Amino acid sequence: MPSSLRFVAPLAALALVLTLAACGGGSDNESSQDVPEGAVVLVGDTQVAKSQYDQLLEQARRTFKARKQEFPKLGTPEYEQLKQAIVKSLVEEAQFEIGAEELGVKVSDEEIDKRLEALKKQYFQGDEKKYQDELKKQGITDEQVRHDLRARLLSEKVFKAVTKDVQVTDAEIKKYYEDNKAQFSTPASRQVRHILIACSKAAECKQAKQKADSLRQQLEGGASFAALAKKNSDDPSSAAQGGKFTAQKGATVPPFDAAAFSLKTGELSQPIKTQFGYHLIEPIAPVKKARAKPVSEVEKDIRQTLLQQKQNDAMNKWVDDLKKRLNEDVAYAVGFKPPASGGGTTTGESGTTTNG
């Protein structure tokens, strides 16, 4: 399934969330009597219609069928977990809508159309039939895709509104640099060339050693290192370059590392045994010393990292505060209230809850 439809149809994935434990629900400040007929949940003054729940349940059913999986039977724990996952998603969606309205954030039909057309072009070359075939294959509808695209666009706009004043100071950049100096250091490096004769078993390695000795004699006699590497080396990435590559201190196995950084420039090693086989190594340039990048070189990257962290923190706090505030004003219809936090079982469709 194209990643476009994976992210625009997250609610379809509820069909697979059968192992999720049902989360603690809303406050007891409101009872099922407060929920209007035809609704499953009341979030403040916002009604979540039973038709919305039915639509997602049917969506889950289609997803199970498309994936050739058996849909949970009514009354089973798996069915109850799926039901509570759907209800939970609907409550969170309603809460998010309320928060977005408070921020003055809206999404137009034109914006949804534009985003959907872009996705069709990206993943289906603008071919409507290919798009419809993929929907059918995944058991989702165009209406569901548009619904979830609207949710994605709303989330993007809310994120922008919530984080618009987030900034990163120079002092924060400096502290991050000092605390993480090691990651801004470049290890010692050296241009080398090598030939690997691979082996693993003893008999293999005996032959590999003999071949490495023969190649070394040829090199000592003036043979082309590049030609021999291309023809004989079992390291394909460097063989294509005539055996050349840049060795970084500590990045290769210890015997290779020791030789690469201790030999003189132009000095050919004896065959060196490692877990991969026998190597012939020849440094072709002096060692470049380890170097710590100055903060000026990495300031832009640090600023972006910290900005993203602070924006995510701000968004998470906004969502947590919103849920804490609105969870006090949630009422569930009979049969849809989640188990109480701390344990308990919900009995079928009766809506009664017993704490253990």
Tell whether the model's pLDDT for residue 329 goes beyond 60: yes
Among candidates 254, 229, 263, which has minimal Cα distance to 244? 229
Asked whether 302 and 175 are in contact (CB, 8 A), the reply is: no
Tell me the C-alpha distance between 80 and 341, whole Å.
Answer: 16
* Stated length of the chain: 356
Mean pLDDT of the chain: 87
Task: State the DSSP H helix or E strand holding residue 215, giving kind and residue range, or none if neither.
Answer: helix 202-220
Backbone angles phi, psi at 129, to 5 degrees: -65, -40
What's this model's pTM, rounded to 2 decimal places? Answer: 0.65
- Rounded Cα distance, 264 and 49, in Å: 78
Q: Which has the closest alpha carbon to 134: 123, 150, 149?
A: 123
Run of H or E including 66: helix 50-66
Distance, CA of 328 to CA of 229 (rounded, Å): 72
Q: Which domains does the chain have, with CATH numbers?
A: 3-166+306-354 (1.10.4030), 188-283 (3.10.50.40)
* pLDDT tens readout for residues 233-261: 999 999 999 999 999 999 999 999 999 99
**Phi/psi class of residue 80: alpha, beta or left (left: φ > 0; alpha: ψ in -120 to 50)?**
alpha
Q: Which amino acid is at 221?
A: G
Asked if pLDDT for residue 277 goes beyond 70, the answer is yes
Q: For residue 279, is pLDDT > 90?
A: yes
Q: What is the largest CA-CA distance in the chain?
A: 96
26-77 pLDDT, tens digit per residue, is 444 455 668 888 999 999 889 999 999 998 899 889 888 888 899 999 999 9
For 167-181, b/e burial (b = at least 16 CB within 10 A) is ebeeebbeebbeeee
- Which residues have CB under 8 Å from 114's CB, separation 6+? none
